[in-house]
Amino acid sequence: MARLHGYAHTFARTQWRGIDGNGFWDLTAFTLQMAMVVLTGYVVATSPPVARLINRLALVPSTARTAVSFVAMLSMSVSS
């Protein structure tokens, strides 16, 4: 709150528009991109071949501890 109060007294009204990019319309583009990521991920994950792969991979770990290490190992192996 103190930070917002400091901004209110530091910036003129005309400078507020550019503080978060170009304002509302940049946020709508970002929102559309995130919606497309979620929708595309859902479509891919529910397709029969990928769903079978996910189900097969889910059978690999047998305990919670091995599940955590399996997800960590898989995540590190697919990231760049």
Digit-coded pLDDT (tens) for 29-55: 889 999 999 999 999 999 999 999 999
pLDDT level of residue 8 (50, 70, 90 thresholds): low
Predicted structure pTM score:
0.56
Residue 20, domain member (yes or no): yes
52 and 29 belong to one structural domain: no
Same domain for 30 and 51?
no
Provide the number of structural domains found in the chain: 2
The per-residue pLDDT for 28 is 87
Which phi and psi angles does 63 have, rounded to 5°?
A: -125, 170
Q: Which residue has the tokens 């697919």?
A: 78
- Cα→Cα distances 73→58, 59, 68, 78, Å: 14, 15, 9, 9
Report the amino acid identity of residue 22: N
Q: What pLDDT is stored for residue 69 in this prediction?
A: 96
Which residue range is the domain that position 57 belongs to?
47-80
- With respect to residue 41, please indicate whether it lies within any of the assigned structural domains: no
